[in-house]
Amino acid sequence: MGHDARRWVRVAAWPLAGFTACVLVSALVLAALNASRLGTVRTGADVVLAVAVGVGVATSQLIISRLPGNAIGWLLGLIELSLAASMFTDQYALYGLATASGSLPAALTAGWAAGVLATVTVMLLAFLILLFPDGRLPSRRWRPALWALVVVTLGWVAGQFQAGTTVTGGITNALSAARITYRFHGLFPHQGWLSGTGRVGFVLGVAAGVLVVVSVFVRRRGASAERRKQLAWLGYVGLMTVIWAAALVVAGVAAPGASNGSLGTLLWSLLVCTPVAGVPLACAVAVLKYRLYEIDRIISRTLAYAIVTGLLVGVYAGLVLLTHQVFRVHTPVAVAASTLAAAALFTPLRSRVQRRVDRRFNRIRYDADQALAAFAARLKDAVDLDSVRDDLAGVVHQALEPAHVSVWISHRD
């Protein structure tokens, strides 16, 4: 791509970002008007989601300005535009159907469009993962997977043009929260040629999703260390999404009443905002290669604390159930004792889990710790200063692989 072409590509990206920002601001204005219908917690969740979309818009502009020929930046821009439009149509439909019924034209159509835009967002995200991180397919053999995604997207969107499609909102489920379940009149009859494609479209969608995930592992196999780190950043976002999804499921099972209220809204917001904000940030780090090699440490710390948190929550819940259900003790002392027991287990449990996680996901740190421990053991019996210096230099080379090592020793009389 020539210099002039790059300049025009950068200029063309600004209208996309500006239009997305205008749609996002309009969605926030409508969310403020719908606050009485949604409640403070739901409105706050919409604001957090809007901030996450704003982060994505800024990130897409950064990538396009630095690498205008990379499709990842443009896909990010389209994803954020689709998300902003989905939020706007959601809030527009809620205002026109519930908050101020009949005050806005085409409110029913806007509610239907929110679902369509949510589908488009998911499929654009699948395209991004398939092309990550250089904006190209892993190889020409993956072209059928790309076309399969196109066919699935068109099929799912066309299926929502049928009459009788339920209008329940898109990303924020604002209409569902307000118990609005109108039906879309549609462009095709409900029993028409699209009525029998639902299961086929679902199967094709699952198959296409599996291919997208497999493409990441195909890229990783035989890739350079740098490419593996790039893919690991995207995998970290997936890991965090899975963690929040598991937390939402556990909360729903353990406390169904609480999960349907503020706790459920908080966990759902974290679940949605993690990929919305995390994918753009991961793309910025991976594509622009800024602080790329810290991902191993981040993954190991996240996994360790997630595992420790899950274990301690299980221990705490088990102790509380034991004291309440078995021993029939219902005093605050039992709860306090359970809390103290979980707190006492934190440090030894975290150390053990961290060592095991580092051994698998942060091998450099694990090997360095093992080398330092061995050096400390040898140092106890060392008496010759030159041998200690040589041993220290060898350990540093093994653990850090520096280009040069100098050892300065202070002699005291």
Q: Can you give the pLDDT of all 413 residues of the chain as single tens digits?
A: 556 666 777 777 788 889 999 999 999 998 888 887 777 777 787 888 888 898 889 888 888 888 888 888 889 999 999 999 988 988 888 888 888 877 888 887 887 788 788 888 888 888 898 888 888 888 888 888 888 888 888 877 777 776 556 665 544 455 666 666 666 666 666 544 444 455 666 677 778 788 888 888 888 887 787 888 888 888 888 888 888 888 877 777 766 655 566 667 777 777 888 888 888 888 888 887 766 666 667 777 777 777 888 777 777 777 777 776 666 666 676 677 777 777 787 788 878 887 777 776 665 665 666 666 776 777 776 666 667 677 667 766 665 556 666 766 665 55
* Domain extents in the chain: 3-224, 307-346, 362-413
- Residue 133 exposed, middle or buried by CB count within 10 Å (0-12, 13-18, 19+): buried
The token pair at 101 is: 């019924």
The token pair at 61 is: 């502009």
- Neighbouring C-beta atoms of residue 33, cutoff 10 Å: 15
Phi, psi of 67 (to 5 degrees): -130, 75
117: phi > 0 → left, psi -120 to 50 → alpha, else beta; which?
Answer: alpha
Nearest Cα to 287, choosing from 231, 361, 213? 231
pLDDT recorded at residue 24: 92
- Integer Cα distance of 187 and 133 in angstroms: 38
pLDDT recorded at residue 192: 45
| Torsion sign, CA atoms 126, 128, 131, 136 | positive
- Integer Cα distance of 132 and 142 in angstroms: 13
- Neighbouring C-beta atoms of residue 310, cutoff 10 Å: 14
| Torsion sign, CA atoms 334, 338, 341, 343 | negative
Let me know: does 232 contact 296? Beta carbons within 8 Å. yes
- Neighbouring C-beta atoms of residue 93, cutoff 10 Å: 31
The token pair at 17 is: 């970002």
- Integer Cα distance of 71 and 76 in angstroms: 9
pLDDT recorded at residue 82: 92
- Residue 85 exposed, middle or buried by CB count within 10 Å (0-12, 13-18, 19+): buried
Question: Quick one: how far is CA 379 from the chain centroid?
Answer: 46
DSSP helix/strand/coil, 236: helix
Question: Quick one: how far is CA 322 from the chain centroid?
Answer: 36
Let me know: does 271 contact 278? Beta carbons within 8 Å. no
